[in-house]
């Protein structure tokens, strides 16, 4: 256990020689596992847990060994990454992969069966492309990138280092741009920009990020995007922001750093959100917001008045009955 703790910090209370061979949650941990504890509601389960060690923020009266760390979930995540790393394909180029002319491949690249690389593509060192990945002409892919099955990169897309794109992600699809012609038909406006994904970004399955009409759609360093998210053309998603499942961001929006859009949030076009803004699930943002904090509802409002309006909303039927009764009494008085 000393070797594991040395990698994440913290101090050991109890048997420092305890052998740790696995990691697991409190409900599932067995002998040899290390777990972590933050939720007091799980105190009873922790007392009966079979784990050999637990990560806590302060010492507890327990028989098992304890790792004292200021941030138990973070320490647990780091240990998990060491003991149970994600599986990785062996480097090599499948004979069933298609590599076009003027493609540059780095060291230890993995090209799985049915991968397609277009012309003038560059792939960095230690990058893995899973089966069915399609990379159009002119794309640039950095080092230690993982593209899971059936990812599609449209032409001229730029992917930074240590990026993970999960199955079915589409990057660089045309932005939604049309104009009515003389016969009131939708005439397509060609989208001639590109998408730039910076370092350490992760994008969930079946998310789509549109290419810019002109210039760039940019997803900045450290952004994490959940499944089924849509990012429109010419958007800028700020550093370390989180976009949760089924979020839709319309074209030409700009998000600051550490913005959180909870599930099914919709953001109208040309909206700017400042740094450290949190928008509650299923809210709609129709105008720009600049002050850090939590917002919710439609149109999205600061958290306190929004929560008050929710409390009032549940009372509307009762208030309506009272108003009708008062109107009836007032009319009776007027008739007298």
So which residues are the catalytic ones?
233
CA–CA distance, 82 with 84 (Å, rounded to integer): 6
Q: Token match 């008739």: residue?
A: 335
CB 102 within 8 A of CB 84: no
DSSP string, 249-278: E-TT-EE-TT-EE-TT-EE-TT-EE-TTEE
- Beta-bridged to residue 283, according to DSSP, are none
Best CA proximity match to 153, nearest among 167, 136, 137, 175: 136
3-class secondary structure for 178-189? EEECCCCCEEEC
Could you tell me if 225 and 185 are in contact, meaning their C-beta atoms sit under 8 angstroms apart?
A: no
Task: List residues bridging with 254 in a β-sheet.
Answer: 236, 272
Q: What is the bridge-based pairing of β-strands 186-188 and 208-210?
A: unpaired
Q: State the distance between the two ends of the chain, measured CA to CA, in whole angstroms.
A: 88
Which pairs count as long-range contacts for 256-265, CB under 8 Å and 24+ apart, including other chains? Answer: 257/220, 263/226
Dist CA 59 CA 29 (whole Å)? 19
- 125 near 110, Cβ under 8 Å? no
Largest Cα span, the chain = 96
Count of helix runs (H) and strand runs (E) in the chain: 5, 38
CA torsion through residues 187, 206, 232, 100, sign: negative
d(CA 306, CA 300): 8
């Amino acid at each position: 256990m000393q070797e594991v703790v040395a990698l994440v910090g913290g101090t050991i209370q109890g048997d420092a020689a305890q052998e740790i061979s696995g990691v697991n949650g409190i409900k599932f941990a067995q002998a040899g596992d290390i777990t972590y504890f933050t939720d007091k509601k799980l105190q009873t389960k922790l007392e009966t847990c079979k784990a050999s060690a637990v990560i806590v923020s302060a010492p507890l009266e327990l028989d098992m060994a304890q790792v004292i760390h200021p941030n138990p979930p973070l320490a647990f995540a780091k240990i998990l990454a060491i003991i149970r790393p994600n599986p990785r394909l062996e480097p090599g180029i499948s004979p069933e992969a298609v590599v076009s002319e003027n493609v540059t491949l780095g060291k230890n690249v993995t090209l799985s069966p049915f991968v397609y690389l277009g012309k003038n593509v560059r792939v960095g060192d230690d990058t893995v492309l899973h089966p069915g990945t399609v990379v159009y002409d002119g794309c640039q892919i950095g080092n230690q990138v993982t593209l899971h099955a059936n990812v599609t990169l449209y032409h001229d897309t730029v992917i930074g280092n240590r990026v993970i794109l999960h199955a079915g992600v589409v990057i660089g699809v045309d932005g939604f741009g049309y104009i009515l012609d003389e016969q009131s038909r939708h005439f397509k406006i060609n989208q001639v920009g590109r998408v730039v994904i910076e370092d350490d970004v992760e994008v969930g399955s079946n998310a789509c990020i549109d290419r810019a009409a002109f210039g760039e759609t940019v997803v900045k360093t450290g952004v994490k995007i959940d499944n089924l998210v849509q990012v429109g053309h010419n958007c800028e998603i700020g550093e370390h922001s989180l976009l949760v499942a089924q979020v839709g961001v319309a074209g030409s929006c700009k998000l600051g750093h550490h913005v959180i859009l909870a599930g099914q949030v919709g953001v109208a076009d040309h909206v700017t959100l400042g740094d450290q803004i949190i928008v509650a699930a299923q809210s709609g943002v129709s105008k720009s917001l600049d002050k850090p904090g939590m917002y919710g509802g439609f149109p999205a409002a600061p958290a306190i008045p929004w929560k008050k309006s929710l409390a009032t909303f549940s009372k509307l039927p009762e208030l309506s009955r009272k108003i009708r009764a008062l109107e009836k009494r007032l009319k009776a008085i007027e008739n007298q």
